């Protein structure tokens, strides 16, 4: 069976230890976490967690069941299996921007609709959001210009609403 990337959307009680339990489940059973994003929901007693992992169907089934088995876990949805979904990630990229490349960096920002959030005589720090593929593209194009530092958030995802009634 082939490995596939899965984005899981998990609602979990907002209690201390809940995140450790989830992370521990992955490390303890030898599953891998590609990325993990957590924040409070509208209901402050629940946290929402977007988790990207990979595996064949049997492994993903196990991961989902094991997550559901945790007492603190309220709901687990495999967004990847639920039809279309929106996926976003954000990155802050500090890129070298000296006399000869400054304009080039700005042009890139323009094309990708990035925002410059900090400027220094030799660098720009730019903010970029979008699906992972877009972030990857920006990073690849900026690399030759000299990236000094990157910080990425990891993926958040949400199911698309049905368009037709």
Partner 1 sequence: MTGAQMIVEALKREGVEVIFGYPGGAVIDIYDELYRTPEIKHVLVRHEQGAAHAADGYARSTGKVGVCLVTSGPGATNTVTGIATAYMDSIPMVILTGQVPTKLIGNDAFQEVDITGITRPCTKHNFLVKRTEDLPRILKAAFHIARTGRPGPVLVDLPKDVQQGKAEFYWPEEIRLRSYNPVYDPHPRQVEKAYRLLESCTRPVVLVGGGAIASGAHEEIRELAERLHLPVTMTLMGLGGFPGTHPQSLGMLGMHGTYYANMAVANSDLILAVGARFDDRVTGKVDAFAPMAKIIHIDIDPTSIQKNVRVDVPIVGDCKRALEKLLSVIKEVGRPEKIWREQFKDWWEQIEIWKKRYPLTYKQEGDYIKPQFVIEKLYELTRGEAIVTTEVGQNQMWTAQYYKFDKPRTLITSGGLGTMGFGFPAAIGAQMGNPDKTVIDIAGDGSIQMNIQEMATAMEQGLPVKVIILNNGYLGMVRQWQELFYERRYSAVKFQVLPDFVKLAEAYGALGLRATRPEEVEPVLREALASDRLTLVDIHIAPEEGVFPMVPAGRATTEMILV
Please choose, out of 30-38, 61-69, 103-111, 150-158, the segment that lies near partner 1 by the rule CB under 8 A. Answer: 61-69
Rule CB under 8 A: choose which of 1, 42, 44, 58 binds partner 1: 58
Can you give the three-state secondary structure of 67-84, one letter per residue?
HHHCCCEEEEEEHHHCCC
**C-beta separation of 94 from 125 below 8 A:** yes
- Give the nearer residue to partner 1 in terms of CB position, either 32 or 62: 62
Q: Measured between alpha carbons, how far is 6 from 81 in angstroms, rounded to an integer?
A: 8
Q: Is 62 in the site for partner 1 (CB under 8 A)?
A: yes
Please choose, out of 69-77, 127-135, 142-150, 155-163, the segment that lies near partner 1 by the rule CB under 8 A. Answer: 69-77
The Cβ of residue 95 has, within 10 Å, a number of other Cβ atoms equal to 24
In order of 28, 47, 53, 54, 135, the CA distances from 32 in angstroms are: 10, 21, 6, 7, 22
Q: Is 17 in the site for partner 1 (CB under 8 A)?
A: yes
97 — phi, psi (to 5°)? -140, 90
- Give the nearer residue to partner 1 in terms of CB position, either 17 or 119: 17
Q: Is 121 in the site for partner 1 (CB under 8 A)?
A: no
Interface positions with partner 1 (CB under 8 A) = 12-13, 16-17, 20-21, 24, 28, 58, 61-62, 65-66, 68-69, 71-74
């Amino acid at each position: 069976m082939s490995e596939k990337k899965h984005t899981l959307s998990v609602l979990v009680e907002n209690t201390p230890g809940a995140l450790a339990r989830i992370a521990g489940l992955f490390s303890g059973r030898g599953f891998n976490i590609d990325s993990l994003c957590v924040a409070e929901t509208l209901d402050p007693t629940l946290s929402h967690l977007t988790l990207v992992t990979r595996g064949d169907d049997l492994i993903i089934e196990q991961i989902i069941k094991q997550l559901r088995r945790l007492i603190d876990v309220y709901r687990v949805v495999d967004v990847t299996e639920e039809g279309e979904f929106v996926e976003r990630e954000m990155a802050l990229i500090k890129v070298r921007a000296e006399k000869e490349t400054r304009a080039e960096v700005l042009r890139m920002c323009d094309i990708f609709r990035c925002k410059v959030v900090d400027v220094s005589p030799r660098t720009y720090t730019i903010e970029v959001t979008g699906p992972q593929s877009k972030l990857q593209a920006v990073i690849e194009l900026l690399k030759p210009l000299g990236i000094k530092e990157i910080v990425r958030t990891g993926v958040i995802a949400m199911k698309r609403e049905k368009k037709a009634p």
